[in-house]
């Protein structure tokens, strides 16, 4: 039996009436850009994250750029982030005008190593962007401690971590701001691109909103030069329809991860995701390590089981960063992981039968 990596159709079918009604409402009201549906989603999402302000924008990449621009990042500044993430995190540091400083991961959780952050700080450092990769929070105690000690801002990249928690506190509430993506495959996904910046700082929220809307909140009154990064009404209404289900979907992902953990732990050579104490993982991705990753991936693929490598090259080693001339030995954990990680099928609706298929195939590969 083939097992897809994710199945967006199943989720749509499960709440088709709510989604279709949401779309019809936006079309009926001609509320395509901004308008009541966008305002409503911003209010609802802020409440869901337990923050005061949510400013929606076109995608999670823009959210990172907007948050940094609103924090007045400038040429010559250095911003620290992880060597293991999607390229948006580091690319937006550059586009905001700063220099990206990469840190290795901790070797266990795929998240940034706080010791490496300390070592990377210089007089030019202005901020840190931890990524709650795959859905597991970074070590926010250590990171906030370092930020406080050195007077740095923190932007949490929560694109993969809707509803994750660190010591019972929701991610997105630790730093000056946090960014979200609602790309269709994310734990809360639109039917197109969508993103948001959340913050408890009213001034920062207003600055982000202005930057996202051509530099002004009132038409033709441009306080500054901004960009055009708006959430459209259709996506907002779809997200509002989905948001009430997010807790159930998160629970389903965590239950599915438990099933994988219990079975895969028994199989030689398979290293299941390590969850550090106090961290609530929401399993945007269920990523194992395996010493013969490429052979395992090919074996599963031949059986119709879709897998993915997130991500095949650590950020500092990408062609995009050849100007820094980074060497793999500077990032031993991220480099080891790029060659051993494999993400297995994971979505809220995955069935025990599908999971058993995946587990059986991985077991068979070992023999
Ligand atoms: C998806 C993602 C982004 C970017 O979000 P988009 O909405 O696709 O622009 C940023 N950071 C991380 C870690 C992501 O996974």
Q: How far is the CA of 259 from the centre of ligand 1 (A)?
A: 27
Residue 132 lies in a domain: yes
Residue 274 is given by DSSP the state P
Ligand 1 center to residue 255 CA distance, Å?
24
**Which of 189, 212, 244 is where one domain is finished?**
244
Q: How would residue 1 be classed by pLDDT, with cut points 50, 70 and 90? A: confident
How many angstroms separate the CA atoms of 177 and 156, rounded? 7
CATH of the domain at 83: 3.40.640.10
Predicted local confidence at residue 73, as pLDDT: 98
Give the model's pLDDT for residue 347.
98
Closest residue CA from atom 2 of ligand 1: 159
Residue 1 lies in a domain: no
Please name the residue that has the structure tokens 């077991």: 363
DSSP class per residue in 321-358 = GGGGT--GGGSHHHHHHHTTEEEEP--TT--HHHHHHH
Residues 69, 32 within the same domain: yes
Mean pLDDT, rounded, for 303-320: 98
Q: Give, using CA atoms, the residue closest to atom 5 of ligand 1.
A: 60
- Burial of residue 34, with CB atoms counted within 10 A of its CB: 0-12 exposed, 13-18 middle, 19 or more buried: middle
Rounded CA separation 86/159 (Å): 10
- Could you give the count of Cα atoms lying within 13 Å of 179 in the half-sphere of its Cβ? 29
How many domains are contained in the chain? 2
- Cβ–ligand 1 contact at 131 (below 6 Å): yes
Q: C-alpha distances in angstroms, 266 versus 52, 152, 259, 293, 307?
A: 45, 43, 12, 17, 20
Is 341 part of a structural domain of the chain?
yes
Position 367 pLDDT exceeds 80: no
Beta strands at 165-166 and 125-129: parallel, antiparallel or unpaired:
unpaired
**E strands within 68-203?**
78-82, 99-103, 125-129, 153-157, 165-166, 169-170, 177-181, 195-199
Ligand 1 centroid – CA 321 distance (Å) = 19
The per-residue pLDDT for 239 is: 98
- In a domain? residue 285: yes
Last residue of a domain, one of 214, 244, 274: 244
Phi, psi of 181 (to 5 degrees): -115, 140
Q: Percentage helix, strand, coil, to 5, in the chain?
A: 45, 15, 40
Helix axes 16-29, 233-242, angle to 10 degrees: 150
Alpha carbon distance 196, 208 (integer Å): 10
In angstroms, what is the span from residue 353 Cα to ligand 1's centroid? 30
How far apart are alpha carbons 160 and 367 in whole angstroms?
Answer: 34
Could you give the dihedral angle defined by the CA atoms of residues 98, 206, 159 and 86, in that order, rounded to the nearest 10 degrees? -20
SS3 279: strand
Q: Mean pLDDT in the chain? A: 97
> How many whole angstroms separate alpha carbon 226 and alpha carbon 363?
53
- The atom number, within ligand 1, closest to the CA of 195 reads 7
The answer as to whether 284 is a domain residue is yes
Considering the domain architecture, whether residues 235 and 250 belong to the same structural domain is answered as: no
Please give the Cα distance from 324 to 257 (Å, whole number).
38
**N- to C-terminal Cα separation, the chain:** 20
pLDDT digit string (tens) for 109-151?
999 999 999 999 999 999 999 999 999 999 999 999 999 999 9
Q: Are residues 308 and 233 in the same domain?
A: no
pLDDT at 358: 98
Residue 51 clears pLDDT 80, i.e. is over it: yes
Q: Could you tell me if residue 308 is inside a domain?
A: yes
240 with 251, same domain: the answer is no
Question: Tokens in use for 213?
Answer: 């809307």
Same domain assignment for residues 83 and 155: yes
3 assigned to some structural domain: no
Asked whether residue 236 falls in the same domain as residue 313, the answer is no
pTM above 0.75, yes or no: yes
Residue carrying the six token digits 């337990």: 50
332 upstream amide cis, omega within 30 of 0? no
Residue 229 beta carbon below 6 angstroms from any ligand 1 atom: no
Task: Check residue 104 and report its DSSP letter.
Answer: -
Ligand 1 atom with the shortest distance to the CA of 133: 13
| Assigned domain for 2 exists | no
Identify the DSSP state of 265. Answer: T
Q: pLDDT digits over 200-253, tens only?
A: 999 999 999 999 999 999 999 999 999 999 999 999 999 999 999 999 999 999
Asked if residue 129 and residue 26 are part of one domain, the reply reads yes
Q: What is the pLDDT of residue 366?
A: 80
> Same domain for 171 and 47?
yes
Atom of ligand 1 nearest to the CA of 89: 11
Residues 234 and 332 in one domain: no
**What is the reported pLDDT for 88?**
98
- Ligand 1 pocket, residue 343 CB under 6 Å: no
Does the pLDDT at position 256 exceed 90?
yes
**CATH number, residue 280:** 3.90.1150.10
Pocket test for ligand 1, best of 86, 129, 180, 310 (most atoms within 8 A of CB): 86
**Do both 119 and 140 map to the same domain?**
yes
In Å, how far from its chain's centre is CA 36? Answer: 27
Q: If residue 45 lies in a helix (H) or strand (E), which one and from where to where?
A: helix 36-49
At 58 the pLDDT is 98
Q: Is 61 in the pocket of ligand 1 (CB under 6 A)?
A: yes
What atom of ligand 1 comes closest to residue 131's alpha carbon?
Answer: 13
C-alpha of residue 60 to centroid of ligand 1, in Å: 5
Best of 56, 60, 100 for a ligand 1 pocket test (most atoms within 8 Å of beta carbon): 60
d(CA 330, ligand 1 centre) in Å: 25
Averaged pLDDT for residues 2-31: 97
Please indicate, yes or no, whether residues 120 and 32 belong to a single structural domain of this protein.
Answer: yes
Give me the domain span that covers residue 253.
246-365
Residue 86 Cβ < 6 Å to ligand 1: yes
Q: In the chain, what percentage of residues exceed pLDDT 90?
A: 99
217 in the same domain as 287:
no
56: enclosing H helix or E strand: strand 53-57
Domain boundary among 244, 268, 300: 244
């Amino acid at each position: 039996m083939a097992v897809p990596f994710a199945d967006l159709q199943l989720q749509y079918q499960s709440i088709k009436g709510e989604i279709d009604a949401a779309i019809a409402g936006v079309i009926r009201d001609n509320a395509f850009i901004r308008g009541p549906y966008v305002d409503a989603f911003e209010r609802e999402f802020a409440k869901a994250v337990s923050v005061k302000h949510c400013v929606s924008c076109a995608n999670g990449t823009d959210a990172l750029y907007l948050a940094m621009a609103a924090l007045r990042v400038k040429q010559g500044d250095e911003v620290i982030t992880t060597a293991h993430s999607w390229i948006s995190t580091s690319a937006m540091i550059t586009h905001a005008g700063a220099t990206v400083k990469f840190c290795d991961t901790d070797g266990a959780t795929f998240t940034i190593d706080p010791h490496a952050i300390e070592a990377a700080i210089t007089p030019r450092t202005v901020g840190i962007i931890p990524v709650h990769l795959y859905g597991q929070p970074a070590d926010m105690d250590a990171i906030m401690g370092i930020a406080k000690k050195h007077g740095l801002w923190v932007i949490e990249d929560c694109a993969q971590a809707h509803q994750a928690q660190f010591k019972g506190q929701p991610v997105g509430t630790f730093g000056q701001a946090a960014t979200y993506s609602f790309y269709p495959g994310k734990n809360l996904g639109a039917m197109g691109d969508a993103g948001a910046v959340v913050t408890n700082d009213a001034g920062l929220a207003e600055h982000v909103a202005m930057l996202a809307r051509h530099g002004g909140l009132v038409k033709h009154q441009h306080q500054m030069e901004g960009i055009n990064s708006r959430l459209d009404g259709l996506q907002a209404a779809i997200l509002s329809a989905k948001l009430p289900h997010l807790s159930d979907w998160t629970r389903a992902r965590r239950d599915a991860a438990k099933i994988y953990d219990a079975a895969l732990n028994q199989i030689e050579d398979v290293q299941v995701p390590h969850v550090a104490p106090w961290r609530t993982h929401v399993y945007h991705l269920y990523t194992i390590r395996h010493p013969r990753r490429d052979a395992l991936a090919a074996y599963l693929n031949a059986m119709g089981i879709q897998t993915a490598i997130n991500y095949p090259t650590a950020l500092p080693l990408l062609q995009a960063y050849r100007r820094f001339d980074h060497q793999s030995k500077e990032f031993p954990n991220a480099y080891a992981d790029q060659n051993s990680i494999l993400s297995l099928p994971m979505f809220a609706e995955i069935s025990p039968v599908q999971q058993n298929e995946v587990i059986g195939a991985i077991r068979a590969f070992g023999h």
